[in-house]
Amino acid sequence: MSNKRDVVFPADRHDLYELHRYSPAVRANGFLFVSGQVGSRKDGSPEPDLKAQVRLAFANLNAILAAAGCSFDDVVDTTVFMVDPHAQFETIWEVVADYWGEAPYPNVTAVGVTWLSGFDFEIKVIAKLPE
């Protein structure tokens, strides 16, 4: 039995994966487990504008989902992290609505955190891979 992970990389991957030594996503048992995605530019730096940072996080997430042959419609579990949810939740959620799709929506856990390595928003998901 092989312990090798079935890793999914987006077509235009950014430098954070190599810098911090992690995989964007791993396929296992019919699911895709996607690492937390942030609004990082190709060089790994944060997009400074909050709405643009959230859009870029979704673009990075959607690139990984597409590389695995799925889309946000296949997402079954979502966790979002926000550095300052009290001040930023409404702004973030305006942008999230553009990507969430139609009901039924995936479940979501929203977590306030104190640090995201210079970012204000992060999203991680589990998606059901197409049969």
Kindly report, residue by residue over 66-103, the tens digit of the pLDDT: 999 999 999 999 999 999 999 999 999 999 999 988 88
Q: Cα–Cα distance between 67 and 62 in angstroms, integer? A: 8
> Residues 28-39: what's their mean pLDDT?
96
Q: Which of 66, 64, 82 is nearest to 7 (CA)?
A: 64
> Residues 106-119: what's their mean pLDDT?
95
Q: Is the dihedral of CA 42, 77, 25, 32 positive or negative?
A: negative
* Total-model pTM: 0.91
Q: What fold, for 6-128?
A: 60s Ribosomal Protein L30; Chain: A; (3.30.1330)
* Res. 20 pLDDT band, cuts 50 70 90: low
Q: How many CA atoms lie within 13 A of 107 on its CB side?
A: 4
Going from N- to C-terminal start, the domains of the chain cover 6-128
Residue 14 has pLDDT above 70, yes or no: no
